[in-house]
Amino acid sequence: MKKKQKITLYRIIITAVMLVVLQFLPITGIPRLIAYLAAYLVIGYDILRKAGKGILNGRAFDENFLMALATLGAFFLAIWTKSGDYLEGIAVMLFYQIGELFQSYAVGKSRKNISALMDIRPDYANIEKDGKLEQVDPDEVAVGSIIVVQPGEKVPLDGVVESGNASLNTSALTGESLPRDVKEGDEIISGCINLNGVLKIRTTKEFGESTVSKILDLVENASSRKSRSEAFISRFAKIYTPAVCISAVLLGIAVPLLRMAFGMDAAWVDWIYRALTFLVVSCPCALVISIPLSFFAGIGGASHEGVLIKGSNYLEALSDAKIVVFDKTGTLTQGVFEVTAVHHNTMDETKLLEYAALAECASSHPISKSLQKAYGKEIDRSRVTDIEEVSGKGITAKVDGHEVLAGNAKLMALHNIPYNDCHSVGTIIHMSIDGEYAGHIVISDVIKPHSKEAIQKLKHAGVEKTVMLTGDAKRVADQVAKELGIDEVRSELLPGDKVNEVEKLIQNKPKKANLAFVGDGINDAPVLTRADIGIAMGAMGSDAAIEAADVVLMDDDPMQIAKAIKISRKCIGIVKQNIVFSLIIKFGCLALTAFGLANMWAAIFADVGVMIIAVLNAIRALKYKE
């Protein structure tokens, strides 16, 4: 409990004790009034101060003004009637403060997830100088510097591991409890915690551009982007509060005057008391507090699960996502080419891979790298001579004195070598040794382990259509879409074509449905911006994609998309429940008060009770369960 909350709790206890004691003290008249007024000021001085500031700043009609007016009115009524019953006004303020304390505690609880996320901010970076580690501000570390991260320390900047092996705790970033192992040559992002081993990291970004800085910036600014529901509450309060104040004036003054005009007893005390009770009931606390709290809790709960939502407006838009459009490479697939099959004629499979890897050893193309990786041994370049790249066709080289051709069907046709056609999905590398066809190697982009399950979960979450957009050949795209269970596929697209396809889908979608686009690359940024809701793969995604997106998935797992939609729908459901529940109870109590069927005690219990129920309902958005 924070210091401010503790002070409020002490004031509540002191006031409650004072009220109990005053019930047994035999004092009357002015001393009794002063004693009760002292108790009132202990519990209500801050509300009076806020009400005064609101009046001076031109914002009189808020809950502080209503509460101050109602409770002071109860005091004046007790003085006017000489009843000496000052308990009601103080009790109303006491219960209101109890409700405020509870609300403050609930908000604090909902902040814990985001506060935990803020703990990823690094305090320092270690730079080695003269054989000693020196702690410097991460802002002062230049790109290309070597930093040292010891066990138990946070990784302060993005970079590449130069030396060392370690396991990293990435739970604050991804929500994933399992540690991630890194070794020399692996990319590493800031915000992780080194669990064991000493790492030397060559930095690739300044601190201001690092993953941890961007995450913190996204979360800190999330509350500034308001949803339609929050905007509705703001507009509602501007109309509602003056309306109930006017209604209270009519109830307390106009009704007695009308009664006098008709020759009836004005009953001023009774009607003014009803008007003051009406003001207490009218406080829109439950709505004003619970709706923003619901969104805040939803964003906090999502961040705990490794889903960063940039604002409550995006959370609300995500809940209406009925069409999900995917980029393929790096989103549904790993974006890493691997050898998936080797079909050989007369030559051994291992030998065929060896010849292919050696022939391709001078190329930096991803296909060449995948062949060298599949070979799995150190390349001895002295065995290779006369390497020549045939543009758009492949490589010719001499390996151990043998003439090796490695390339596509066009390369085989160029050298008049009969080859076996292959219908496998992927890139086909045909191999010829000394003019004889030796076989072919299939290289494919590997589908992510959870992609198929992710599509199924989206269907279960109420997504009506899934679409895949890719620049790949139609044969490859259709095979991937079929394997994953995607409804529609558009292939052989340029980046500009993707925007056009999304435009067409948006024009033809149902009126109340939103279209979400999921991507990870630089060329996806325009599409992410154009979609109703843009979702970027964060951990491996490009900076441009993350900047353009409305939602960022921190662990690149497509399973997170369905989770994000479910979290948003749960949150919006809670918001709607609180709006309906609060308004029904509020207008019901106002009607009962106007007809004299509810006193001030009942009013405050109704008001605080509704607020507590609404707040308890709101903080359910913090937790996500499958």
- The catalytic site residues sit at 327
Q: What is the CA radius of gyration of the chain?
A: 34
Tokens of 196: 């064991």
- Write out the DSSP string of 7-64: HHHHHHHHHHHHHHHHHH----HHHHHHHHHHHHHHHHHHHHHHHHHHHHTT---SHH
Query: Is the CB of residue 307 less than 8 Å from the CB of residue 554?
Result: yes
Start-to-end Cα distance in the chain: 31
Could you say which DSSP state residue 516 is in?
A: E
Q: Report which of 325, 328, 332, 340 is spatially closest to residue 370, judged by C-alpha positions.
A: 340
Query: Is the CB of residue 495 less than 8 Å from the CB of residue 522?
Result: no
Distance CA 372, CA 353 (A): 8
Distance CA 50, CA 42 (A): 15
Which amino acid, one-letter code, is at 546?
I
C-alpha dist (Å) from residue 508 to 28, 323, 455, 535, 576:
77, 11, 22, 21, 28
Mapped onto helix, strand or coil, the DSSP state of residue 514 is strand
Burial of 163-202, coded b for 16+ CB within 10 Å and e otherwise, reads: ebebbbbbbbbbbeeebbebeeebebbbbbbbeebebbbb
Distance CA 47, CA 40 (A): 11
Could you say which DSSP state residue 154 is in?
A: B
Mapped onto helix, strand or coil, the DSSP state of residue 133 is strand
Query: Is the CB of residue 71 less than 8 Å from the CB of residue 90?
Result: yes
Mapped onto helix, strand or coil, the DSSP state of residue 1 is coil
Other CB atoms within 10 Å distance of the CB of residue 508? 9
Other CB atoms within 10 Å distance of the CB of residue 45? 12
Residues found in the chain: 626
